[in-house]
Amino acid sequence: MPTFPFVGFGAGLRTEHYQDVLDGASGSDWFEAISENYTDTSGRPLQVLERVRRNYPVALHGVGLSIGGTDPLDKRYLGNLRRLVDRIEPFVVTDHLCWTGVEDRCVYDLLPLPYTEESLAHVVERVQIVQDTLSRRIALENPSTYVEYRHSTIPEAEFLASVAEKADCAILLDVNNIHVSAFNLRFDANIYLDRIPPDRVAQIHLAGFNDRGTYLFDTHDAPVSKEVWKLYERALSLFGPVSTLIEWDANIPTFARLCEEVAHARRIAEEAHDTPIPIATDSARNAVHDAGAHPRP
């Protein structure tokens, strides 16, 4: 049974906040960095990430793995990612359950997969290759979805759970994406949560969305909505304490404002588990580092 470190409540590492973080502004227990912003650079961004890593646990979150794609896995991308992982020693490496392009034409988006037995086997095989390359488990995130394929035969939650079990990987559960997809495709978000195996959830994401009337648009440019906070509460009742991240990628607020959202997540978790969860101390951060990043047996 895999176990994942609980590292508290974190925020995405944005260039706008580099100086706040380096100056030691508190409010976040850990930070998530977008892998692609650091794999092809030897300049300031990587230097900043290394300095952040000295004081905080870091998660590496990718958008370019295309785990569901039909092109062969990109060896150069994986090699760069492995080097970054070795350098930064993140507590988790994550990406999305999606595809991003085909035949060297990437569209920089998280395109939906059909959920069939065939695509399940395909994704499982590719996850195993990635995990062997990185020498660690990865976590896959449920995407926000706007369309459904007619020939899908497996509901998304079951598909994600099956990938996690068969590939022995983890789940990054984006609670905002569950809410957005549930509205867009008219399924029950609570039943979705019920289908996720608790022992596979390594991390939770929370973010804001935009209501377009006939669909919800996952924009990550706003505070977390009250419906998503409520779904988060339910998730915690099912999964126990899970490292949680606030994603705010556009219309980026001040660091102080971002940390207010992080604090809100902490308060909800404290109420859910009826116990205070203080901001991680240096010794707690070092313990995560020393524990490694849930290496695979």
Partner 1 sequence: MLALILDHDHRKVDGSLSCFSPPPHGTIAERLDVYVAGFPARVQDALEESYPAVAHLIGHSEFHKLVRRYIGSLSQFPSNLNDIGAFLPAFLAFDRANDSFPFLHDLARMEWALVCAFHAPAPSPFDTSHLAAVSEGQWTDAILEFQPAVAVLRSNWPIHTLWAARELPREELDIAVQDQGECVLIRRAGSELHCDKVDANEAVVMEALIAGTPLGRLGELLDRPEARSDEVTRWFARWIQQGLIGNVRLQNSSH
Query: Stretches 129-137, 147-155, 160-168, 229-237: which one binds partner 1 (CB under 8 A)?
Result: 147-155
Query: Which of 45, 240, 241, 253 is in the footprint of partner 1 by CB under 8 A?
Result: 45
CB-nearer residue toward partner 1: 40 or 165: 40
Smallest separation (angstroms) from partner 1 to the CB of 207: 16
Please give the Cα distance from 241 to 244 (Å, whole number).
9
Closer residue to partner 1 in complex, CB, 154/291: 154
Site stretch for partner 1 (CB under 8 A), options 2-10, 38-46, 258-266, 285-293: 38-46
- DSSP codes joined into one string, 68-124: T-SSPP-HHHHHHHHHHHHHH--SEEEEESSEEEETTEEEEEEEPPP-SHHHHHHHH
Chosen residue from 24, 43, 72, 297 binding partner 1 by CB under 8 A: 43
Q: At what angle do helices 226-239 and 175-185 cross, to 10 degrees?
A: 120
Residues 245-284 that bind partner 1 (CB under 8 A): none
Q: Whose CA is closest to 156, among 168, 141, 170? A: 141
Query: Exposed, middle or buried by CB within 10 Å (0-12, 13-18, 19+), for 265?
Result: buried
Nearer to partner 1, 103 or 274 (CB): 103
Q: Within a 10 A sphere around the Cβ of 174, how many other Cβ atoms?
A: 24
Write out the binding residues for partner 1, residues 15-34 only, by CB under 8 A: none
Closest CA to 143 of 226, 39, 247: 247
- How many of the chain's residues bind partner 1 (CB under 8 A)? 37
CB 218, min distance to partner 1, A: 9
Verify binding: residue 47, partner 1, rule CB under 8 A.
yes
CB atoms within 10 A of CB 47: 11
74 binds partner 1 (CB under 8 A): yes
Assess 40 for contact with partner 1 (CB under 8 A): yes
Q: Is 73 in the site for partner 1 (CB under 8 A)?
A: no
CB 32 within 8 A of CB 118: no
Binding piece for partner 1, criterion CB under 8 A, among 1-9, 43-51, 167-175, 281-289: 43-51
264 three-state secondary structure: helix
CB of 204 to partner 1, least distance (A): 24
| Residue entry with tokens 């029950």 | 188
Q: Does 214 bind partner 1 (CB under 8 A)?
A: yes
Span interacting with partner 1, options 182-190, 230-238, 253-261, 267-275, rule CB under 8 A: 182-190
CB within 8 A of 1, min separation 6: which ones? 199
Applying CB under 8 A, among 54, 75, 186, 226 the residue interacting with partner 1 is 186
Place of tokens 């984006």: 174
Q: Does 101 bind partner 1 (CB under 8 A)?
A: yes
User: At its nearest, how many Å lie between partner 1 and the CB of residue 178?
Assistant: 16
Determine the distance from the C-alpha atom of residue 296 to the mean position of all C-alpha atoms in its chain, rounded to a whole number: 19
Tokens representing residue 183 in the block: 């509205």
Is 197 among the residues that bind partner 1 (CB under 8 A)?
no
| Sites of contact with partner 1 (CB under 8 A) | 36-37, 39-45, 47-48, 64, 74, 77, 100-102, 104-109, 111, 146-151, 184-186, 213-215, 217
